[in-house]
Structures are given as structure tokens and as C-alpha cells.
Structure 1
Amino acid sequence: MTTLHFASPWLLLLLLVPLGLALWPFFNRTRRQPAALQYSDLRLAAQLGPSLRERGRVILPVLRLIGLALLIIALARPQAGSAREIITGEGIDIVIVLDISGSMAALDFDPNRLGAAKRVINDFIQQRKYDRVGFVIFASEAFSQVPPTLDYKVVQRVLDETQVSWDIGLDSGTAIGLGLANGANMLRDSKADSRVIVLLTDGANNSGQVDPITAAQIAKALDIRVYTIGAARPGPAALPFPDGRVEYRDSEIDEETLRQIADITGGLYFRAEDGEGLQEIYDTINELERSQVEVRTFTRYRELAVWFILPAALILALEILLRRTIFRTIP
């Protein structure tokens, strides 16, 4: 990014000099007595008016003041600077694993569990800067949506388009193990020093061919830390179905399994019972997983004074030339 600044900005106060010189004739007009000649008959000068040359002489002080102003600006040393960032260190590779089973449509969160999770995850992504972020969804099956990338807008767009399983024609199961395995596979070839999975679900594993504990052991073998989040309010919650029915169902979070996954991989387990609690959890994870990145900014400046000196010299030379030729006066 290019910026413009002056090395000696205080010298710009000298611009008040040409400004004062420009305004002085207006303030002095009332005090100055105009030159006069006596005529025996004023009718001799009645038809006389200022010549074209006399009218054009007004350009001389204008040119002089413009040249002086340009020289003052050049004296203040205008500079154009190009900033360059040098980044040392490495960011974290993070994969968001999100449950989209039918129960995520429950209304104990605002607007529902999935909607609250999407809003908080979106905020979480916005707070990352040098970390690659990937995205996996799961219901009865798991799908790798976005591989780890620094293009956060892509991840956020896919996240915004994410819907509950039955709205996109998927069976409403909960394959926690399969979702976790997909996330671990996404980070398998990562070269980052820190690799993290953040898994959110509101149920218990009841689908898929991979056991959650087996998936956790795979993640541990790949040196991946897993944070697990159970998102549901205790007690029955209203669950609207696509056909218009509404049922009240108790949460089925398998907290013991989620806690084991976190313990095996060196992560933490959290329980969220509302949107505010979910936000606090992601804020906590955000603080725990900080990039070890040092950013140094260097700015290289380029002197611009010559672009003011050259036109100033040409304008002043033109003023002198006109004063001694076309607008020359006889003493």
C-alpha cells in the first residue's frame, strides 16, 4: 500500500506567505491612492480603457505565487512510501467439523442450534489472520467441504450455505467418528507445527463405520489436538420437521465420548447451553490457539520533491520571460 507524507511537514506553514501576498492587494486597495493625471478636458480620455496587455499583466503575480508555493511544497520533502510486511513464524491449521443432523434444527438456540453455530463459527474465522481453516460437515455421512485455506471468504460462503441434513436430502444420523476422521485426514499432510480440529455436535454417534474413539486415536497419531463441543440445552427442546410437525426431544449428547476424544488428543471438552455460552467457548479456543507469527513492516520512501521543483522552475522562468518581453514596462 502506497502512502504520501512529508518529511518536514512544519515547512508547509510557509505556504501562508504566498497566501498572504495573494490577499494583500485586496486589503490594501482601500488605503492606496490611485495614480492620476490632470486633463483640461476629461472627454479626451472618456473612450480610453485598459489594453489587452494591461489586462494580461495580472497573470505575472499569479505565476510567481504558484511557483513559490510549489517550491515550498518541495522544501517540505513530499515522499511516497510503499509498506512491505515480512512475516516470520507459522500459523495454525484448523478444521471446523460441524454436525448438520436433523436435531441441529432444534429451537433451544436462537434461531436454532445450526444457525447459532454458524454465526459463532463465522466470527471465529474472522478473528484468524495467518491460520489456514478447513471445513467438514457430517450427519449420517461426512463431507469435506473446504480444505485448509487462507481464503476465509470461501470458507464463510460455504458455511453460510450449510443447511440441516433433511433440507439437502441426507439421512439424519450423527456420524461423529466419520466427521472426526475426515477432519484428521484433511490435516494429514499439513506441515504446520500446530494442527487443530474443533468439532461441534448435539448428539451421540449412531452412524458411520468409524468409531469416535478410533478416530480420536488416529488424530492423536497425527499430532492433532481436538476440541469437542456439545451444543444443547438440558431438557426437551422443540424440533420442527420439514412436514410441519414439531416434537419435543431431550438432548442426546454423549458427553463421555466427547470428553474422551478431547482427553486422548490433548484438547478440551466444552458444553454450550445457549448462544452466548457457545460464543464464549469459541472465544476461549481462539485464545488458546494463537499463531506464533511475528510481523515486521518496512516502508520504503521515494522522494517526490523533483516533481514540484521542475514545474516551479518552468513557471518562474515563464514569469520572468513574460515580464521582460510581452509585459515589459518602461520606467
Structure 2
Amino acid sequence: MAADSLGLGAYWLDRLSALSVLGFGFAHPLVLGLLGLVPLWLWWQRRREGGQRTIAFSRLAVLAGGPRPSLRYVEWLPRLRAFALAGLIVAIAQPRSGARAERVNSDGIDIALTIDISSSMLAEDFQPQNRMEVAREKLKRFVMGRKTDRVGLVAFSGEALTQVPLTTDYPVVLAAIDNLQVGQLEDGTAIGTAIATAANRLRNSPGRSRVMVLLTDGENNRGAIDPRTAAQAAGTFGIRIYTIGVGSEGMAPVPVGRGLFGLRYENRPVKIDEPLLTEIATTTGGKYFRAKDAAALQAIYEQIDRLERSAVEAKAFIRYTERFRWPLLFGVVALLGELWIRARRGILP
């Protein structure tokens, strides 16, 4: 009998543990092993009674004046106690629904996207869009391809400003890219300041691979920080800089002021300091790219995506829904049922 009871308990333990495969589990599954003691307790109760069905009354008046209680009450009392114990054990095991939190290794990098928002980015040589519109569109496609990468956004012209610190909250980064507008900062092109600002965000980042993608369409003409010096400093922090020169070759329609019907454009020569951008990239172990049209810019981001991969550890937390109240309620109801029968029939514990 005892062996059968233990076997029955083990069977139910296996069934309850198997629920975790279906998205249901327990915080303390080992506690479920106590369920095997419940049928063992029932067997012990029956053996202690010696096979006799007797009822102990607290008052003789109950026996004399009341109806004769049926033996079925004697059988139900230990069963209700067993149900109460089982409910309490399952509640202590803390059943819960939802997946467990786990660590996964995946590819990822820390990326600071650094984009020029000077007035020349309104040049319309990427028809039917201007440089700024194309740059925003390709940046967004690049961000939407991230999974575990931490991405930050730095905008610069005559000065530099962090728009979004490093984060995996990609909707926030995408919204910040949408909000990039020419004229938000003092006009000019301060490449050195931009590198220093982005490097300051990356230098203490936890990732093993730190990357800066710097996009500009002009020459350094503002800021107190020399771009070469800033690049060397970034290199000492293990930051690779990929530079992108944006603009067609030759002449391009560039805004030169405002007229009666909006911006006035004139054809001006496209001036990108390619030797400087190449040196910045080479100094840090990165690479320089030239984007002469929208398709080329998209291909550049795809190439950078292939070049940069490193293993990082990401931890996903999923909130559990606690389910211990139901087995606890079941146990309490069973216990109250036992007490009610004993009180109504005047049966001693």
C-alpha cells in the first residue's frame, strides 16, 4: 500500500512538472516532491484506525439527540485533510505562468550613429529627396535591422549634441531620427567635436565592440577640437570609426538663403574632405565610404553591418503571472469543509 501511494505521488509530480513545457511552471518545483507524502499519510491514517470505522463525539447529547452519522463522514474527513495538504504544498511550490528569464548569447555591438545636420544636408543631389531625407531613411533602416545592438544617436553641425544615449529601445532611436532637422544646432561642420561627443558615449559602454558611424557632407570648419586628435583619442578606447562622405561629384543644388517662395538654391561644388575622413577611419581601424546616391548609402550601411559582429550577452526578463492563489484557495476550502463537518456532527479531531 505504501509503495502504491509513493508511486501515485511520483506520477502526479511528473505530471505537474511537465506543465512547464506548456508555459506553466513552478518557482520551487522540488517542493512538489512533498505531494508523495500525502497518499502515504492517508495510508498511515487508515492503518492507525486498524480498519475500524469509529467516530469520537465531543458531547454525548449529540449522539443521543441527533441522527446517526454515516460512516461516509469518517472516510471524507481524512480525504479533505489530504486535499488541504496537497493544496498547501502546490501553493508553496509557487505555480506561475509565463516563460522563465534566461541569458542568451547573441551578436551585438555598441554603435554611435553620428550624423551631420548642417544646412548643406539640404542639397538636392539625391533626387527626388535631399541628402537629409535620404540619410534619415537609411539610418532608420539600419536601426530596424538591429536586435541586441545598443544604438545611440549624435547630431552635429557647428556643435554636437547627443540625441539618444546608447540603448536597445529602438523605437526611441527611430523617433529621434525622424525629429532630426537642419537648423536645430548652430550651422557649420564640427567633425572633431562630433567625434569627441560620440566617443564620450562609447568609451564606458559595456560592449566588447564599439563602433562610431560618422556621416557628413562637408569639410571641418568649426569647433575647437581637431578631428585627427579626436580620432586618436577614440582609437585608444577601442572605438572604430566608419566615416561616410555624402554627396554627388561635381556640382549640386545647395541652399544659399530664403526667398519669397522658400529656400533659394544655387549650384555649388560638392566639397568633402575625403583625405581627412579616410585618415580618421584608418587611425581607428575603420573604413571610409563615399555615398554618391541613395543606393550607395544603403549599400554602405549593409557593408558596415557585415563588418561588425561581436558576441555579447543579453538577458531577457519576462514577468510571471503568479497562480499560487488557486491551489491555496482549494486547500483552504478543503480544510474549512473538514472543520464544518466536524462542527456540525460534533466529531472530535
Q: Report whether the alignment pairs 1:100 with 2:117.
A: yes
Structure 1 residues 152 and 185, CA gap change in structure 2 (3 angstroms): same
Structure 1 residues not aligned, in runs of 5+: 6-79, 298-331
Aligned-residue offset at 1:228: 0.2
Aligned-residue offset at 1:259: 0.2
CA distance in structure 1 between the partners assigned to 2:309 and 2:269 by the alignment: 36
Any idea what the Cα deviations from partners look like across 1:213-256, whole Å, max 9, x if unmatched?
01101101111000000010001111234443111111110000
Aligned counterpart for 1:273 among listed residues 292, 315, 324:
292
Any idea what the Cα deviations from partners look like across 1:6-50, whole Å, max 9, x if unmatched?
xxxxxxxxxxxxxxxxxxxxxxxxxxxxxxxxxxxxxxxxxxxxx
SS at match of 1:245: strand
Aligned-residue offset at 1:83: 6.8
TM-score, structure 1 as length reference: 0.62
Q: Report whether the alignment pairs 1:91 with 2:88.
A: no
Aligned length: 230
CA distance in structure 1 between the partners assigned to 2:222 and 2:315 by the alignment: 49
Structure 1 residues 181 and 296, CA gap change in structure 2 (3 angstroms): closer
Residue pair 1:136, 1:183 contacting (<8 A) in 2 also: yes
Structure 2 partner of 1:162: 180
Residue pair 2:142, 2:301 contacting (<8 A) in 1 also: yes
Q: Report whether the alignment pairs 1:235 with 2:254.
A: no
Higher helix share: 2
Aligned partner letter, 1:290: R
Give the alignment of 1:295-314 within 5 angstroms: none
Residue pair 1:113, 1:232 contacting (<8 A) in 2 also: yes
Aligned partner letter, 1:112: N
Aligned counterpart for 1:206 among listed residues 201, 221, 234:
221
Structure 2 residues not aligned, in runs of 5+: 1-18, 23-96, 317-349
Any idea what the Cα deviations from partners look like across 1:264-319, whole Å, max 9, x if unmatched?
0000000000000000000000111124258899xxxxxxxxxxxxxxxxxxxxxx
CA distance in structure 1 between the partners assigned to 2:224 and 2:178 by the alignment: 28
Residue pair 2:109, 2:312 contacting (<8 A) in 1 also: no
Q: Report whether the alignment pairs 1:137 with 2:155.
A: yes
CA distance in structure 2 between the partners assigned to 1:136 and 1:117 by the alignment: 14
Structure 1 residues 150 and 239, CA gap change in structure 2 (3 angstroms): same
Q: Report whether the alignment pairs 1:256 with 2:271.
A: no
Structure 1 partner of 2:208: 193
CA distance in structure 1 between the partners assigned to 2:21 and 2:222 by the alignment: 61
Give the alignment of 1:1-331 within 5 angstroms: 82=99, 85-88=102-105, 91-109=108-126, 110-165=128-183, 168=184, 170-240=185-255, 241-243=257-259, 244-293=263-312
Residue pair 1:135, 1:145 contacting (<8 A) in 2 also: yes
Aligned partner letter, 2:161: F
Aligned partner letter, 2:197: N
Aligned-residue offset at 1:82: 3.7
CA distance in structure 2 between the partners assigned to 1:126 and 1:85 by the alignment: 24
SS at match of 2:176: helix
Residue pair 2:125, 2:253 contacting (<8 A) in 1 also: yes
Residue pair 1:90, 1:193 contacting (<8 A) in 2 also: no
Aligned partner letter, 1:141: E
CA distance in structure 2 between the partners assigned to 1:137 and 1:207 by the alignment: 14
Aligned-residue offset at 1:175: 0.4
Aligned-residue offset at 1:81: 7.5
Residue pair 1:262, 1:269 contacting (<8 A) in 2 also: yes
Structure 1 residues 4 and 221, CA gap change in structure 2 (3 angstroms): closer
Any idea what the Cα deviations from partners look like across 1:113-161, whole Å, max 9, x if unmatched?
1110110010101111111111101111111111101111111101100
SS at match of 1:145: strand
Structure 1 partner of 2:32: none
**Cα RMSD after superposing both structures:** 3.2
CA distance in structure 1 between the partners assigned to 2:169 and 2:315 by the alignment: 22
Aligned partner letter, 2:114: V
CA distance in structure 2 between the partners assigned to 1:124 and 1:191 by the alignment: 21
SS at match of 1:87: strand
